[in-house]
Amino acid sequence: MNLLAQIQERFRTALAGLAPDVEPFVAMVKPAQDAKHGDYQANCAMSLAKSLVKKPREVAEQIKRRLPLGDFLLEPEIAGPGFINLRLQVNWIAQQLREMAKSDRLAVHAQAAKTIVIDFSSPNVAKPLHVGHLRSTIIGDSLTRLLRFLGHKVITDNHLGDWGKQFGILLYGYRRYVDADAFRADPVRELARIYVKVRKEMKDDDDKTPDPVDDAARLETAKLHAGDEENLRLWKMFMPFSLEEIDKIYRRLEVSFDHMHGESFYNDMLPGVVADLLQKGIAQRSDGAVIISLDEDQPPSIIQKRDGAFTYTTSDLATIKYRMETWSPDAILYVVGVPQSLHFKNFFAAARHAGYTLVDLRHISFGSVLGEDRRVLRTRDGGTIDLEKLLDEAVEHARAIVDENSAELPEAERKEIAEAVGIGAVKYADLSQNRNSDYVFNWKKMLAMDGNTATYMQYAYARNRSIFRKGNVAAVPFRTDPPLPVLDSPFERALALQILRLEETLVAAVEDYQPSIITSYLWDVAKSYSGFFQNCPVLKAETPALRDSRLLLSDLTARVIQLCLGLLGIRTVERM
């Protein structure tokens, strides 16, 4: 049930005929920022008054008279220069909560289904995942979970970097520096050591003097792409070890993919893509290269260099061709960092020129993870932090909290809780930020037992479930035959209203591809539940009917928290 959409629909009726296009004014109906102003608020009268050449309060009164209320809304109030304040009828809220409790989906409707491809994570295969892969992986996973819950067909594709220069570096280094015993014991770590060693031998990018190591690595890469038998053999030997190491981290993060089509998958398609674009007149030859001319304010997109080499854009065009022919998606989302914005602007322009005009192409950009010095998070020696080590440290920090608060729990249970809390904290700290913003990584803040953190949300859920254990109450009857809740106190009503805002929150998060909208909502729910918990005794309620009503509100709160955390890829625990 989308409360906001229902209220906006009634305003759509009230505004009909007052403006040629009512949608901009309908969009001005939003949840009230302050409860004293009501549940929802509309400020469209002020903007509409200009075109109608009337006073805003006069327009607000006109809208109020035309607004259908039914059993849904109380009589609106006009405030200030023309704000329209709206309150929902308490009996209607109670009835909606009861219906919500009966629903396995908490009354969240499925949207008109679209087919959506999400391209996320996309690490270079030749080295362990590092903290730089964190945001793409968990943002992409949360959007996948959210879109699927709302009824869309989602196809996830991890576009692995498995064919680039990093393999040339490895091929060059393997022949010179491999420790055979270390490779047998831990192939991925040995390959990572080799990669780092060769990179240190290479000159900085701003050094324009010849670099024999870089030239040698490029040569090995070219030989691989040309089908050199020995380089292909080594590449095939490296790949399974690298993929297993990456998959181990994905399993720990509870992230999975429908497909993991790397750059190598599309390699044989690249000449055909260029030939097809030339044949159709979409691409042209220019000074020995092949380009696609874009809009006047954009440089041409190069799809084949003078030396015959293909570019990232060529690979991306092959990828979109394959995806359109195989899955016919309505939209393709690329969850990639802000620094790649220019690449995607040019690539999307090239794709439109190539004829892909019906599919919605979106760059779901995100900022960087920063250290306390507000620089990109790195190790003390300046290297990138392995994601596995980061997760291990998160679980260690969480274990200390669990041991301090729940020492009586069995060892195995504390271990499981620490894993859920530690990894949940890392995910939530990331997803609670506007995805386009950088954020500072801080253990103390992300594992805090208060404030807008996963740890607090998991604790709120566990505390809620403990009420049912303490009272020896089964939750099932509150989901099969729930009572009509009593909402006499402002704390009960405030919590009820937050619970009913679930669907509008999920819809808003999808519209903006912004998981932080869900975390903000969770924080509002948690604060409302805290006020309810402190002021409205549950097990010691004055009457059996009031006790059942408050148990229903508690169970709905727990279900909302569990659902929203699950959509963020975060587990709840029954005890904490």
For 296-300, 465-469, 489-493, 553-557, which range has the lowest pLDDT when averaged over its residues? Answer: 296-300
The type of residue at 219 is: L
On whether both 31 and 134 belong to a single domain, the answer is no
Q: Name every residue whose Cβ is closer than 8 Å to that of residue 262 and which is 6 or more positions away in sequence.
A: 125, 159, 160, 161, 162, 163
In a domain, 84, yes or no: yes
At 252, is the pLDDT very low, low, confident or very high (cuts 50, 70, 90)?
Answer: very high
**Mean of the per-residue pLDDT values for the chain?**
93
On whether both 276 and 410 belong to a single domain, the answer is no
In a domain, 576, yes or no: no
User: In this prediction, what percent of the chain has a pLDDT beyond 70?
Assistant: 98
pLDDT tens-place string over residues 187-224: 888 988 998 899 899 987 667 788 999 999 989 998 99
SS3 32: coil
On whether both 150 and 260 belong to a single domain, the answer is yes
In a domain, 99, yes or no: no
Distances (CA, A) of 451 to 284, 368, 455, 527: 57, 23, 9, 9
On whether both 228 and 338 belong to a single domain, the answer is yes
On whether both 18 and 135 belong to a single domain, the answer is no
Q: Phi and psi of 567, rounded to 5°? A: -70, -20
Judge contact between 259 and 156, C-beta under 8 A: yes
In a domain, 109, yes or no: no
Mode of pairing for the β-strands spanning 115-119 and 331-335: parallel
On whether both 520 and 554 belong to a single domain, the answer is yes
- Segments forming the whole domain that contains residue 172: 115-369
Q: What are the tokens at 78?
A: 């006009």
SS3 84: strand
In a domain, 572, yes or no: no
Work out the angle between the directed axes of helices 270-279 and 312-327 (0-180°, nearest 10): 90
Spatial separation of the C-alpha atoms in residues 494 and 406, rounded to whole Å: 31
**H helical segments located in 106-211:** 134-149, 165-177, 180-185, 187-201
Q: Is the pLDDT of residue 79 over 70?
A: yes
- CATH at 197: 3.40.50.620
Judge contact between 49 and 59, C-beta under 8 A: yes
Range among 109-123, 175-189, 205-219 rated most confident: 109-123
Residue with structure tokens 């006109």?
62
Q: Phi and psi of 185, rounded to 5°? A: -75, -40
Q: What is the pLDDT of residue 383?
A: 60
On whether both 15 and 145 belong to a single domain, the answer is no
What mean pLDDT is predicted for residues 363-369? 94
Q: Is the pLDDT of residue 380 over 70?
A: no
pLDDT tens-place string over residues 38-69: 999 999 999 999 889 999 999 999 999 999 99
- CATH at 479: 1.10.730.10
- CATH at 41: 3.30.1360.70
Q: What is the pLDDT of residue 129?
A: 84
On whether both 432 and 350 belong to a single domain, the answer is no
On whether both 395 and 365 belong to a single domain, the answer is no
Q: What is the pLDDT of residue 329?
A: 98
In a domain, 107, yes or no: no
Q: What is the pLDDT of residue 131?
A: 84
In a domain, 108, yes or no: no
Q: Is the pLDDT of residue 122 over 70?
A: yes
Beta strands in 205-338 (DSSP E): 284-286, 289-292, 301-304, 331-335
Q: What is the pLDDT of residue 442?
A: 81
In a domain, 441, yes or no: yes
Q: Name every residue whose Cβ is closer than 8 Å to that of residue 478 and which is 6 or more positions away in sequence.
A: 101, 548, 551, 552, 555
pTM: 0.92
Cα torsion 222, 224, 227, 230: sign: positive
Q: Is the pLDDT of residue 412 over 60?
A: yes
On whether both 302 and 446 belong to a single domain, the answer is no
On whether both 286 and 362 belong to a single domain, the answer is yes
Q: What are the tokens at 573?
A: 């625990």
Q: How many domains does the chain fold into? A: 3
Domain end, chosen from 52, 71, 88, is at 88
On whether both 22 and 75 belong to a single domain, the answer is yes
Q: What are the tokens at 512?
A: 């903006």
Give CA 27 to chain center in angstroms: 24
